[in-house]
Homo-oligomer: A and B are copies of this chain.
Amino acid sequence: MNELAIIEKLRELAERGPHITLGIGDDCAIYRPRRGEDLLFKIDPMIENVHFRREQPPAIIGQRALARNLSDIAAMGGEPDFCLVSLAIPRELGEKWVWGFYRGLLPLSRSTGTALAGGHLACAEMIYCDVVVGGHVPRGKALLRSRARVGDSVYVSGRLGKPWDRRITPRLALGKALRGKASSCIDLSDGLSLDLYRLCLASGVAADIDHVPVMRGATLERALNGGEDYELLFTVPPGKKAPLGTTHIGKIIKGEPGRVFFRGQVLPPRGYDHFTSS
């Protein structure tokens, strides 16, 4: 197992983006921005025994490591350009595990135009990975979580309560379609109750929801409080139409900032908080 040889091979395999003028192989990656755009950046970790178990397929772990960040780019209405991947694994897992991980990550990188522009590979006692994604959005057009207003309708994409062990489909096309339509947007990474709380808190409003699209086989409890759906939760002002295939689940109302009601009852933010949940 040789770090330099693996990185050399990754350099050959890596998707190259039109705006990455220098990719893997120097002290930094170089990105040449277009005019009139804002750039978006997100970092998110995948940690053994927190986000996955060592026995799980490395390709699923690699796919999710990138997809989670792409979901955040989608939530801002952005389009991804590149990623940097910092991966540490126990020596005994060896090169085979590394390639399994990248067998999950690289196809998603290619299909979404997210160039693998750099990163790091190290040995550690446990598996740990951080992925950063950089993307762009027309200047001033990013969707924020802080712009929901009283009277807006609340929507969600897909069905909630998904099982963990699957590939994630980041909602990039939907995010782009929401530019100029949605007043606010957030991705569902920690559960509807916590993420809607965050959106309402950031916007200084409350929400009243009465309908949640539950995944077949999932419970309502899981759809409300389970994390990792990676769907988009967004608000649409009166007079604007939400894209087809999204579900109207409630309204933004006046009230204590962050307060969420579900069928008339207070819905506490019970989703995943790494420091308070076990």
Instruction: From B41, B42, B121, give the contact of A275 (CB < 8 A).
Output: B121
- Among the listed stretches A23-31, A100-108, A215-223, A245-253, which one makes contact with chain B, having 4 or more residues with CB under 8 Å of it? A23-31
For A185, give the chain B residue with the smallest CB separation.
Answer: B27
Give the complex CA separation of A163 and B110 in angstroms.
43
With known contacts A76-B27, A84-B132, A142-B30, A274–B41 Cβ distance under 8 A: no
Query: Which residues in chain A, 76-106, are within 8 Å of chain B measured between CB atoms?
Result: 76, 78, 82, 84-86, 88, 91
A267 on the B face (CB < 8 A): no
Instruction: From B42, B73, B134, B142, give the contact of A41 (CB < 8 A).
Output: B134
Instruction: From B27, B43, B91, give the contact of A72 (CB < 8 A).
Output: B27
User: What is the oligomeric copy number?
Assistant: 2
Task: Specify which chain B residues have a CB less than 8 angstroms from the CB of A33 in the assembled complex.
Answer: 33, 37, 39
A43-B130 in contact (CB<8A): yes
Known A3-B274, A27-B145, A47-B88; 12 more pairs at CB < 8 Å:
A28-B73, A30-B76, A33-B33, A41-B134, A44-B86, A45-B86, A45-B120, A47-B122, A50-B123, A120-B130, A123-B275, A125-B126
For A51, give the chain B residue with the smallest CB separation.
Answer: B122
Task: Specify which chain B residues have a CB less than 8 angstroms from the CB of A91 in the assembled complex.
Answer: 275
Query: Which residues in chain A, 218-276, are within 8 Å of chain B measured between CB atoms?
Result: 273-276
Instruction: From B4, B21, B84, B86, give the contact of A38 (CB < 8 A).
Output: B21
Please indicate which of the listed interface residues A2, A32, A85 has the most CB atoms of chain B within 10 Å of its own CB.
A32
A42-B25 in contact (CB<8A): no
A41-B125 in contact (CB<8A): no
Give the complex CA separation of A75 and B75 in angstroms.
34
